[in-house]
Amino acid sequence: MNTSGYVTIVGTGATTITATKAGDDNYNSITDSYILTVERPFITTWDFVGAAGSYSVTIPTRSNWAYDCYIDWGDNSVEHYTRNSGLSTNPSHEYTIGNEKIIKIYGTFPAIYFGSAGSTDIKSIDQWGDVVWEDFYSAFSGCTNLQMKATDIPIITNNI
């Protein structure tokens, strides 16, 4: 913890953070503990080299699922993406420089859906992480440059 009270998390898993305020003549000291769990993200690598000036990415989702996740776009920006079932807005991001980006997704992200459109920009799945998958129908269909580099396996539900 730094002098401003910020805690830097360096790994995944659960940790307990305890805060204590010293007492004085009028007040007793107080201690409070919090358990913080950091999940392993779903990690993909995208490459925008040669994308003819188009340095944006849209992560296709399925409208029949609810989403509540954080997306680390790999350029020091993080977005909190939420969407209720039945809506169709997809998370997207614009980059100022086109090159390789590592995108990490934490939280509730039940499905990805490239469908027949696919993408040549997504290059690899590097880690499945702790994301629970509800639907893999045409998830990476048409992603002709996609490589599987993950050494873990996806967590899937009985819906698949």
Tens digits of residue pLDDT in 68-112: 999 999 999 999 999 987 777 899 999 888 789 999 999 999 999
| In the chain, % of residues over pLDDT 90 | 50
**Residue 75: inside a domain:** yes
Residue written as token pair 């090159």: 99
Bridge partners (DSSP) listed for residue 148: 125
The SS3 of residue 113 is coil
Q: Which residue has the higher pLDDT, 86 or 129?
A: 129
**Residue 61: inside a domain:** yes
What type of residue sits at position 71?
I
**Residue 30: inside a domain:** no
**Residue 33: inside a domain:** no
> What is the model's pLDDT at position 116?
75
The arithmetic mean of pLDDT across residues 23-43, rounded, is 76
Q: What does 59-106 look like in DSSP terms, one character per residue?
A: ----TTS-EEEEEE-SSS-EEEEEE-TT-----EEE-SS-SEEEEEEE
**Residue 8: inside a domain:** no
> What is the model's pLDDT at position 34?
74
Residue 122's contacts (CB-CB under 8 Å, 6 or more residues apart) are 44, 45, 46, 114, 140, 143, 145, 146
**Residue 7: inside a domain:** no
Residue 52 has pLDDT above 60, yes or no: no
Confirm if 33 and 16 have CB atoms less than 8 A apart: yes
**Using CA atoms, how far apart are residues 137 and 69, in angstroms rounded to an integer?**
20
**Residue 131: inside a domain:** yes
**Residue 13: inside a domain:** no
Q: Which residue has the higher pLDDT, 116 or 74?
A: 74
> What is the model's pLDDT at position 87?
74
pTM of structure? 0.77
Q: Which residue has the higher pLDDT, 55 or 9?
A: 55
Q: What is the mean pLDDT of the chain?
A: 84
Whole domain around residue 52: which residue ranges? 42-156
Q: How many structural domains are present in the chain?
A: 1
